[in-house]
Every structure is written in structure tokens, then in C-alpha cells.
Amino acid sequence: MGRALRLLIFFSLLANMFAPWGVATTLTPMALAIAAVALMSKLALLGIVIALIETHIAKLRLFRVPELLAVSFVLALLAVTSSFLLR
């Protein structure tokens, strides 16, 4: 719960710092409603962007697995070969 609240506060600060439209300047109910809707839409957009970035990074890591397996296979083959040659 604490992590979710910290992430909400961080996203709210980030959204209002880089997209400051929709921030209420008066305390009328209509201005507060518009500000709440604007904040929710900015947070939703920021959440979608973060989710897309995280998914893209995870896919990049998944596509690198065959390369890492090939390198580890070559290193294991060199280790076995050198152990037989050094005997």
C-alpha cells in the first residue's frame, strides 16, 4: 500500500510538473472536478506509457536470451577443452 501511494504521489508530481494544464486555481466545485478529471487522465496516460516502456524492455531482455546461451555454451566448451588439454 505504501509503495502504491508513493508511486501515485511521484506520478502526480511528474504529470503536473511536465503537463501543468488542468490544475485548479480556485476552490469552486467545478474547478476541482475539472482538475480531478485532468489529473486522472494524465495519470492514466502516464501509466500506459510506463507500461509500454516496461513491456518493451522485458521483450528486449527476452530476445537476448539466445545470445547469452550461445556465449555460455562457447565458454563451457572452452572450459572443457582447456581442462582436457591441461591434463
In whole angstroms, give the CA distance from residue 43 to residue 71: 42
Quote the pTM value: 0.65
Domain of 34 in residue numbering reads as 2-85
User: Per-block average pLDDT, block size 10, for the chain (87 residues)?
Assistant: 92 90 88 93 94 86 83 92 86
What the block records as the C-alpha cell of 18 is 511536465
Instruction: Decide if 22 contacts 43 (C-beta within 8 A).
Output: no
In this prediction, residue 37 carries a pLDDT of 95
Count up the domains in the chain and report the number. Answer: 1
Q: Which helix (H) or strand (E) holds 42?
A: helix 29-63
Non-local (6+) Cβ contacts of 37 within 8 A are 22
